[in-house]
Amino acid sequence: MCQTLDLDVSKSDSQEAVKSAISRRKMLGGAAVAGASLPVFGGLLRGSDGDRARAAEHSGHDGFAHASFAAGRSVNHRANGFHPTELLRDFDYGKTRRLASGRLLREWEIVAQDKEIEVAPGVKYEAWTYNGRVPGPTLRAREGDKLRVRFVNGSNHPHTMHFHGIHTAQMDGMPGIGGGQIEPGREFTYEFDATPFGLHLYHCHVAPLATHIARGLYGAFIIDPKKGRPEADEMVMVMNGFDTNFDLSNEVYAVNTVGFHYVNEPIRVRRDELLRIYLVNILEFDPINSFHVHANFFQHYPTGTSLEPSELTDTIVQGQGQRSILEMKFPFDGDYMFHAHVSEFAELGWTGFFRVGDPRFASTAAAAAYCKLPWGGGGAA
């Protein structure tokens, strides 16, 4: 079977034990010195039939090898309180009512909470969250709406909500301006207009900023153009990572938090249907991230602020805070990989599959084949 690196920190509820988890960078260096075959951080489990059956039981589909950092185990989404497959198409439009002026008011309540989450099988992380999930809810409005966000800090640390968009300094969620940083137990209401249309984000802006972002305080913020966009199957992908041992580098990379989740549970899409991906990069500690899709090309709308695409491509690069809308159609049934074209990230969890069309035509061997790549154990079964 493929080698797997057991990052088992499940016995360690305390942060101290989590800190003792092996640094992947040290590990990479150590492996090189030892002249060993490539280390297998993203090794996919291709174990016994029993293993596969258990894996299938966990992930709700069968015949698919189970990607993980720890053999035979999967993330407990119920304990996390959120599920990456559901997060994809979960848009929060808020509570709405029409104002006397005729404008639409959208209101949300967002609560900051400290919460342990599992970001890869057995890898727990002391996250700071908006509404108990990482990423926070995808807030969605229409250009010109009036927005009101009541932020309640139920965390043990001061936080804010800093929105990307155009608004006053008082509503910018910065310490020292307007409501300033919101202390534990306090609250503040942000009010601003939905402008400009596009794909934006929000995140905490309290210092040390890298910590407050890396802990999980971020989410996507979509402002639809007044006339909308063409009908499509829409989904949100927030590219993130986790520094599980607090050494200022990430050990786990993902889309929507759980490493390899979309390998274990490929994203179901329909053939020939327009797919629209709202892609946000919030990754801390690494200067760039990227998105690449196999066997297809997509139209790229940088920041989503134009209705005309800038490029037809199959790979884009984003720095932290950058975002893009991607549109594509899959003309053929089957399983198609998407991943960071930063290979190290792909091997540490930032890899997934689209499952197009009739699942009977899906390549159930796709993940197993992935396992045969050199870093997946050299193909030894």
Residues binding Cu ion (CB under 5 A):
159, 204, 206, 212, 217
Question: Distance (Å, rounded) from C-alpha 164 to C-alpha 196?
Answer: 10
Residues forming a β-bridge with 124: 118
Amino acid found at 349: G
Closer by beta carbon to Cu ion, 24 or else 203: 203
Return the SS3 of 184: coil
Closest distance of CB 163 from Cu ion, Å: 14
As a whole number of angstroms, the distance between CA 258 and CA 58 comes to: 14
The size of the chain, in residues, is 381
Structure tokens at 103: 């404008």
The DSSP result for 288-304, as a single string, is -EEEEETT--EEEEETT
Please state, in angstroms and rounded to a whole number, the distance separating the CA atoms of residues 336 and 333.
9
Q: Least distance in Å: CB of 280 to Cu ion?
A: 18
Calculate the dihedral angle through the C-alpha atoms of 299, 301, 307, 309, rounding to the nearest 10 degrees: -40
Task: Name the minimum Å distance from CB 324 to Cu ion.
Answer: 25
Closer residue to Cu ion, CB minimum distance, 163 or 375: 163
Contact between 145 and 103 (Cβ < 8 Å) = yes
Nearer to Cu ion by C-beta: 163 or 353?
163
* Least separation in angstroms between CB 350 and Cu ion: 24
Looking at the Cβ atoms of 182 and 236, the one nearer to Cu ion is: 182
Give the pair of three-digit tokens for residue 24.
């992947």
Compute the least distance from the CB of residue 206 to Cu ion, in Å.
4
| Shortest distance (Å) from residue 18 CB to Cu ion | 19
Question: Quick one: 18 or 206, whose CB is closer to Cu ion?
Answer: 206
Structure tokens at 171: 């509503």
Nearer to Cu ion, 150 or 292 (CB): 150
